[in-house]
A and B are shown apart, each in its own frame.
Chain A
Amino acid sequence: MTHPDDLLADYVDGTLDEPRRADVDAHLHGCARCREEVRLAGAAEASLVELEDVPVPFGVTGPVVVEAGKRFEQRGKAWDRFRWAAGLAAAAALVLVVALNLGRGDQQNAAQPASASAGAGAAGGAAEAGAAADSNVPFLGVERQPNVSYDDAGIQALAVDASRAVASAEKAEGQPLAGAAVSPPPTPKSAEERFASAPRPRQCIEQSGLPTDSPRDVLVRLVEAKFEDQPAYIAVFAESPGAGQPADHVIVWAVSSQDCRILSTASQRVGQA
């Protein structure tokens, strides 16, 4: 007798179509071996379905996540060496970023009071942005946006905005200064000096593995907001590829302000936005 072994699993599962189910039924009627197998398989299946998941014991996957972080740091270091290979960022251009930010009042609640000290000329456009270039890059300090939750698209938008501003300001740099009489208040240039006014974000961002004292990148903005509803610091840097070259990248990092993990990142090449 030929047994329909290839159909019995589906027969037990109840997934056979009707004609084949009828064939198997007909066979079972006359075959004690297959009847017994179907009974046993059905009992086994019922027992297996009743098995319940157990929770994962503490500490099983933690080391793997730590390992994943280590690899990230190693990769990050290599990436840093590549990106911060040489040169000082052309920090000058970035004043325009501030000007743009001041123009967008909706999310920039914390930025508004600072606009007064940034100077009346700050919103005036690219020429004045260029005026501040060499010695003073206004920095608003920590912008507090407690009710704003960014996501990947949001920080990408920050990167795009900043890269556009950098591109415009680089174009304006070196042109005659229409607003030469306006002298914005002196502001710190290096990221290190800028972070000095924000010790807690600085500590957290350092802990995350990001550089806070590189002379080759410029902190453009530091926003205290949320990232995907987790409290976060969002740091926007402009980076130069080499000595004397203008910044050619803007990179944005979102770092958890609770445990200082890097939550996400975005970057934008200047001139491609």
Chain B
Amino acid sequence: MPEQPARDEDLVRRYLSGDRAAFAALVERHERRVYNLALRMTGREEDARDATQDAFLTVLRKLSSFRGEAAFTTWLHRVTVNACYDLLRKRQRAPLLGRGDDDLPAMEPPPAPDPADDSSLSLDVQQALMQVPEDFRAVMILHDVHDLRQEEVAAILGVPIGTVKSRLHRGRVALARAMGLSRDEPAKGEPADAPGTSEGTVSP
């Protein structure tokens, strides 16, 4: 018999009513998007793996409270971005030097080269992305890489659309400068050219 692909919201309902396979179907459908968002946000495969697992575990834990007010994909993106923020904060808090634990390398290697994107261009873009503050990075990745509309990005991040527009533009300019595309080095400390620091996390 002909089959329509189930809507995400229907898969959620089916899982909650006891259909174990429905959650696996949700994961299979979205894992690539979640993983790639996490990879661009964190810049490291190891962190992207952790953030992907954290995001799906959060979804699993909170699935019963998912009321369908937002689209499932909006919620999933929000959970993923927050998982990335959490990981990035943990990484910042961890002392870079004197990390004495025997089970950890004394120094983390530099950001791992992206295994599937071996062109130097994408490496440069990824490295430059990591120099842009994460709130701006998130907007660029969601809009320019994942091709989500500004309205969707605003819903995911819980910010007004004007904030999305402004972060998008400032983030792009900062990214281009980090890639060395600037004709003239900007004056140091010029406020309009330097996106500010992170404005905090997205409410879950």
- Which residues of A approach B to under 8 Å, CB–CB? 3, 5-10, 12, 33, 36-37, 40-45, 47-57, 60-61, 63-65, 67-69, 71-72, 75-76, 79, 149, 151-152, 154, 228-229, 261-265
Residue from the list A48, A64, A152, A264 in contact with B125, Cβ < 8 A: A48
For the complex of A and B, list the 4 residue pairs with the smallest distance between their C-beta atoms, beginning with the closest: A40-B176, A54-B116, A48-B144, A41-B172
> B159 contacts the other chain (Cβ, under 8 Å)?
no
Residue from the list A3, A9, A76, A229 in contact with B168, Cβ < 8 A: A9
Is there an interface contact between A51 and B18, defined as CB atoms closer than 8 Å? no
Q: Which of B22-38 contact A (CB under 8 A)?
A: 23-24, 27-28, 31-33, 35-36
Is there an interface contact between A60 and B144, defined as CB atoms closer than 8 Å? no
Q: How far is the CA of A53 from the CA of B33 in the complex (A)?
A: 8
- Which B residues are CB-close (under 8 A) to A9? 150, 165-166, 168-169, 172
- Which A residues are CB-close (under 8 A) to B173? 37, 40-41, 44
Q: How far is the CA of A49 from the CA of B145 in the complex (A)?
A: 5
Is there an interface contact between A56 and B165, defined as CB atoms closer than 8 Å? no
Q: How far is the CA of A56 from the CA of B162 in the complex (A)?
A: 33
> B198 contacts the other chain (Cβ, under 8 Å)?
no
Classify the secondary structure of A's interface with B: helix
> B115 contacts the other chain (Cβ, under 8 Å)?
yes
Q: How far is the CA of A48 from the CA of B33 in the complex (A)?
A: 15
- Which A residues are CB-close (under 8 A) to B15? 68
Q: How far is the CA of A56 from the CA of B29 in the complex (A)?
A: 12
> B77 contacts the other chain (Cβ, under 8 Å)?
no
* Given A54-B36, A54-B39, A67-B60, A48 contacting B176 (CB threshold 8 A): no
- Which B residues are CB-close (under 8 A) to A3? 192
Residue from the list B21, B56, B115 in contact with A61, Cβ < 8 A: B56
Residue from the list B56, B115, B124 in contact with A54, Cβ < 8 A: B115
> B177 contacts the other chain (Cβ, under 8 Å)?
yes
Is there an interface contact between B172 and A44, defined as CB atoms closer than 8 Å? yes
- Which B residues are CB-close (under 8 A) to A42? 172
Q: How far is the CA of A10 from the CA of B114 in the complex (A)?
A: 30
- Which B residues are CB-close (under 8 A) to A56? 31-32, 35, 52
* Contacts between the two chains (Cβ within 8 Å), count: 150
Greatest chain A CB density within 10 A among B18, B141, B172, B192 is at: B172
- Which A residues are CB-close (under 8 A) to B78? none
> B175 contacts the other chain (Cβ, under 8 Å)?
yes
Is there an interface contact between B53 and A60, defined as CB atoms closer than 8 Å? yes
What are 10 A-B residue pairs whose CB atoms fall within 8 Å in the complex? A3-B192, A6-B162, A40-B173, A41-B172, A44-B144, A53-B32, A54-B114, A55-B116, A60-B49, A64-B57
- Which A residues are CB-close (under 8 A) to B165? 6-7, 9-10
Report the minimum CB–CB distance from A45 to chain B (whole Å): 5
* Given A10-B165, A265-B18, A68 contacting B32 (CB threshold 8 A): no
> B97 contacts the other chain (Cβ, under 8 Å)?
no
Is there an interface contact between B60 and A64, defined as CB atoms closer than 8 Å? yes
Q: How far is the CA of A151 from the CA of B1 in the complex (A)?
A: 8
Q: How far is the CA of A9 from the CA of B154 in the complex (A)?
A: 14
- Which B residues are CB-close (under 8 A) to A261? 20-21
Is there an interface contact between A40 and B117, defined as CB atoms closer than 8 Å? no
Report the minimum CB–CB distance from A155 to chain B (whole Å): 11
* Given A40-B181, A261-B21, A265-B19, A61 contacting B122 (CB threshold 8 A): no
* Closest A residue, CB atoms, query B37: A53
Q: How far is the CA of A154 from the CA of B3 in the complex (A)?
A: 13
Q: How far is the CA of A228 from the CA of B183 in the complex (A)?
A: 59
Q: Which of B16-73 contact A (CB under 8 A)?
A: 17-21, 23-24, 27-28, 31-33, 35-36, 39-40, 45, 49, 52-53, 56-57, 60
* Given A10-B165, A60-B52, A63-B53, A68 contacting B145 (CB threshold 8 A): no
Residue from the list A37, A64, A154 in contact with B56, Cβ < 8 A: A64
Is there an interface contact between A72 and B172, defined as CB atoms closer than 8 Å? no
- Which B residues are CB-close (under 8 A) to A154? 1
